[in-house]
Amino acid sequence: MFKKILIANRGEIALRVLSACKELGIRTVAVYSEADSHALHVRFADEAICIGPPRSSDSYLNIPQVISAAEIADVDAIHPGYGFLSENANFAEVCEASHITFIGPSPDVIRMMGEKDRARAEMAAAGLPVIPGSDGIVPDETTAEKVANEIGFPLIIKAAEGGGGRGMRVVRTKKELLPSFQTARAESEQAFGSPNVYMEKLIEHPRHIEFQVLGDKHGNIMHLGERECTLQRRHQKVLEESPSTVLDAATRDCMGRQIVDALRKVGYSSAGTVELLQDTDGKLYFIEMNTRIQVEHPVTEMVARVDLVKSQIRVAAGEKLDDVVGPVRFEGHAIECRINAENPETFRPSPGRITAFRVPGGPGVRVDTAAYADGVIPPYYDSLVAKLVTHGRDRAEAIVRMEGALDGFIIEGIHTTIPLHKRILADPDFRAGNFDTHFLERLTATAGK
Amino acid sequence: MAKKAKSASGAGAETRGVDLEQVKHLLAFMEENGLEEFEYEKRGVHIRLKKASVAAATPVPVAEVAHAGAHHAAPVAPAPPASREPAKEAREEALHVVKSPIVGTFYARPSPEAEPFITVGGRVEVGQVLCIIEAMKLMNEIESDVAGEVVQAFVENGHPVEYGQPLFGIRPRGKK
């Protein structure tokens, strides 16, 4: 087992990793930017090293600084948390070259899953269903028509070099296809410098379902159930829960097995999350994989009764999956609300000093946070203040516990999205489990009412 | 807030060497005399109390306690990255403090047998190499950004340094 681990992250996830290390008897080294000198992860770690000025690129994303800190502190391993360097294959390689264990999968696997095109192709080859679409770039009208015949309408034409919702065109009828194809190519050339587009079936009212997986370094992989993360705003998750209200046991088992088989083929190890979209007909499609621990991992921890972060560390140290996680029995229902330092109606970021901070508790309530009274939410990083997670015998109990917990969570001095979460929980469609990825848009469009 | 003494060998519980009563007295003393900052050093215990200014976003008051390496019962090798407090003294005298721009290991000499790059009391020019900080097997030369006299050296040869850690105090030429 490792003697010392450096946590290459900040905020609540740094604390989360810190506590897992403590439980395993591992000494901890925190790194921090000058904006975080009073942060809890710095105070609670055994050692702390300042690695740069406030900006992430100069500090938490600065590979030489992080590795240098790992060297002078003489650590055995680095846990990258989520975000920052956690899915940076170069960083994982530098760790290896410096004889420091990177807690995560191998650099090759990180790289493969990071290239979304390649991940899709490899997972399709390994047997996972992917959204029907073109085989890469669509070079001409003939191919466009051929693909449209195969996948049907509505479909979406996407710029290969695009992103952020730009360079996409929805096509609903055959008549629109070729004109849209030409326009899409022209726009793409203009906006991104390349006319390359690809095509995909459009899933209009998707639900976002993701599977938690865990693998060891001996070729063993398991899944730990799914999380429903459909409630998103601008592609940022706001609320997550497990199990999904629309997945039955048979589908879960079948998809879980397919995922495990596919990941075994590519040699996946450590924790990871396979993201899928579910169409209105119930069909699931692979969209991408995140090769790290996720923000919403507590949801799975509550229903599967597994410590995912400790498990990550243990498999990274070479332990076998069977020894780390026995047979999993899922119990009850869990919900997580991401409480951000944002205006709950305008969503404008609200960094600043917290003047009052009271955290709810009681049975089935968990709070993961690095915030504290008189502490500061700096403007340089993400706006997550706390993750509030509740667990209940069933979804109804998890909901009512969350409502009570939200009422009892006092944060003053900054704006938070607690009022938004209260509105979500009170919404009849949410309570009925009836929503798609446009739910939050609709809810927030009626803000103030 | 206590700043940790950092040790590579990992001594466990540290004796803080700070009497809470003592700190309370000091705080009262500051209040009575309208002081913004107070610094005290004796027998390896260094206390610095500073009132947060109106614009600052730090908790009030700030108590920083730095320990000299001598407090550890267990053998310490190498010594932990030092506190940033010496820089305050330097600022009082309008010294220019050269701080480390990177994390690494500080070397005062180009090689073990060579002479140190500079000595306390010596003169430096702009661009002159003051020291080397080794990071990831690369030797980074740290150059002076002012011309003047080296008044203080804050780090010992072979010790680790963090970002922003004070390395040298230089009295810029032309200033008294």
Sheet containing B160-161: which strands, arranged edge to edge? B138-143, B129-135, B104-107, B160-161
- The residue that leads in pLDDT, A298 or B22, is A298
Nearest residue of chain A to residue B6 (CA atoms): A47
**pLDDT score for B89:** 60
Q: A235 and A159 in one domain?
A: no
Place B77 in a pLDDT band, splitting at 50, 70 and 90.
Answer: very low
Q: B123 and B153 in one domain?
A: yes
Contact A33, A22 (CB under 8 A): no
Instruction: Determine, yes or no, domain membership for A122.
Output: no
Q: B73 and B92 in one domain?
A: no
Mutation site, A49, A99, A357, interface B, largest B CB count within 10 A: A49
List the Cα angle B143/B148/B150 in 5-degree steps: 75
Q: B168 and B107 in one domain?
A: yes
In whole angstroms, what separates CA B8 from the centre of its chain? Answer: 18
In B, which residues are within 8 Å of A38 by CB distance? Answer: 1, 58-59
DSSP letter at B2? P
d(CA B107, CA B161): 10
Q: A250 and A167 in one domain?
A: no
Q: A243 and A178 in one domain?
A: no
Over residues A286-306, mean pLDDT: 96
By mean pLDDT, which of A161-170, A231-240, B29-38 is the weakest? Answer: A161-170
Torsion angle, alpha carbons of A130, A133, A134, A138, to 10: -140
Give the ipTM of the model, two decimals please: 0.79
Contact A286, A123 (CB under 8 A): yes
Give yes or no for residue A411 having a pLDDT over 80: yes
Rounded to a whole number, what is the distance in Å from the CA of B162 to chain A's nearest CA?
5
Mutation site, A72, A75, A414, interface B, largest B CB count within 10 A: A72
Q: Do residue B10 and residue A67 have CB atoms under 8 angstroms apart?
A: no
Q: A405 and A303 in one domain?
A: yes
Instruction: Determine, yes or no, domain membership for A129.
Output: no
Contact A57, A64 (CB under 8 A): no
**pLDDT score for A193:** 84
**Candidates A120, A227, A252, A292; catalytic one:** A292
Domain carrying residue B144: 86-172
Rounded to a whole number, what is the distance in Å from the CA of A271 to chain B's nearest CA?
28
Give yes or no for residue A342 having a pLDDT over 70: yes
Mean pLDDT of chain B: 73
Over residues A246-266, mean pLDDT: 96
**Helix A11-23 with A308-316: angle, nearest 10 deg:** 60
Residues above pLDDT 90, as percent of chain A: 86
- DSSP E strands in A202-319: the ranges are 207-215, 221-233, 236-242, 270-278, 284-290
Q: A285 and A185 in one domain?
A: no
**pLDDT score for B76:** 32
Rounded to a whole number, what is the distance in Å from the CA of A65 to chain B's nearest CA?
6
Q: A396 and A379 in one domain?
A: yes
Q: How many domains does chain B have?
A: 2
Report the CATH number at residue A80. Answer: 3.40.50.20
- Kindly report the backbone phi and psi dihedral angles of residue B96, in degrees, each rounded to the nearest multiple of 5, phi listed first: -90, 120
Give yes or no for residue A87 having a pLDDT over 90: yes
**pLDDT score for B12:** 37
By mean pLDDT, which of A151-155, A375-379, A402-406, B172-176 is the weakest? Answer: B172-176
Give yes or no for residue A211 having a pLDDT over 90: yes
In A, which residues are within 8 Å of B59 by CB distance? Answer: 38, 374-375
Rounded to a whole number, what is the distance in Å from the CA of B174 to chain A's nearest CA?
30
Domain carrying residue A411: 207-445
DSSP string, A103-138: SSS-HHHHHHHHSHHHHHHHHHHTT--B--B-SS--
Give yes or no for residue B84 having a pLDDT over 60: no
Which structure tokens are listed for A254?
């079948």
Nearest residue of chain A to residue B133 (CA atoms): A68
The domain boundary residue, chosen from B77, B103, B119: B77
Place B85 in a pLDDT band, splitting at 50, 70 and 90.
Answer: low
Instruction: Determine, yes or no, domain membership for A228.
Output: yes
H helices, E strands: number in chain A: 16, 20
Which structure tokens are listed for A5?
């681990």
Give yes or no for residue B104 having a pLDDT over 80: yes
Q: A222 and A197 in one domain?
A: no
Rounded to a whole number, what is the distance in Å from the CA of B52 to chain A's nearest CA?
12
Q: A302 and A243 in one domain?
A: yes
Which among B85, B83, B82 has a CA at the least distance from the CA of B40? B85
Q: B100 and B159 in one domain?
A: yes
The domain boundary residue, chosen from A78, A103, A128: A103
- Kindly report the backbone phi and psi dihedral angles of residue A217, in degrees, each rounded to the nearest multiple of 5, phi listed first: -90, 10
Over residues A308-321, mean pLDDT: 98
Instruction: Determine, yes or no, domain membership for A33.
Output: yes
Q: A215 and A180 in one domain?
A: no
- Determine whether A292 is an active site residue: yes
Nearest residue of chain B to residue A52 (CA atoms): B163
Instruction: Determine, yes or no, domain membership for A127.
Output: no
Q: B90 and B163 in one domain?
A: yes
Q: B91 and B72 in one domain?
A: no
Q: A211 and A196 in one domain?
A: no
In A, which residues are within 8 Å of B136 by CB distance? Answer: 64, 67-68, 71, 98
| From B8, B103, B105, residue closest to A65, measured CB to CB | B103
Q: B124 and B57 in one domain?
A: no
Over residues A410-420, mean pLDDT: 97
Q: Do residue B59 and residue A374 have CB atoms under 8 angstroms apart?
A: yes
Q: A155 and A28 in one domain?
A: no
**pLDDT score for B82:** 46
Instruction: Determine, yes or no, domain membership for A131.
Output: no
Over residues A248-265, mean pLDDT: 96
Q: How far is CA A122 from CA A105, A163, B168, B169, in A?
A: 16, 21, 55, 58
- The residue that leads in pLDDT, A208 or B66, is A208
Q: B35 and B53 in one domain?
A: yes
Over residues B95-122, mean pLDDT: 94
Over residues B40-53, mean pLDDT: 71
**pLDDT score for A227:** 98
Place A158 in a pLDDT band, splitting at 50, 70 and 90.
Answer: confident
Q: How many domains does chain A have?
A: 3
Q: B106 and B37 in one domain?
A: no
In B, which residues are within 8 Å of A50 by CB distance? Answer: 103, 162-165
d(CA A163, CA A371): 33
Nearest residue of chain B to residue A66 (CA atoms): B103
Mutation site, A68, A76, A355, interface B, largest B CB count within 10 A: A68
Q: A378 and A245 in one domain?
A: yes
Q: B66 and B10 in one domain?
A: yes
Report the CATH number at residue B116. Answer: 2.40.50.100
Q: B98 and B62 in one domain?
A: no
Q: B67 and B95 in one domain?
A: no
Run of H or E residues at A304: helix A297-304
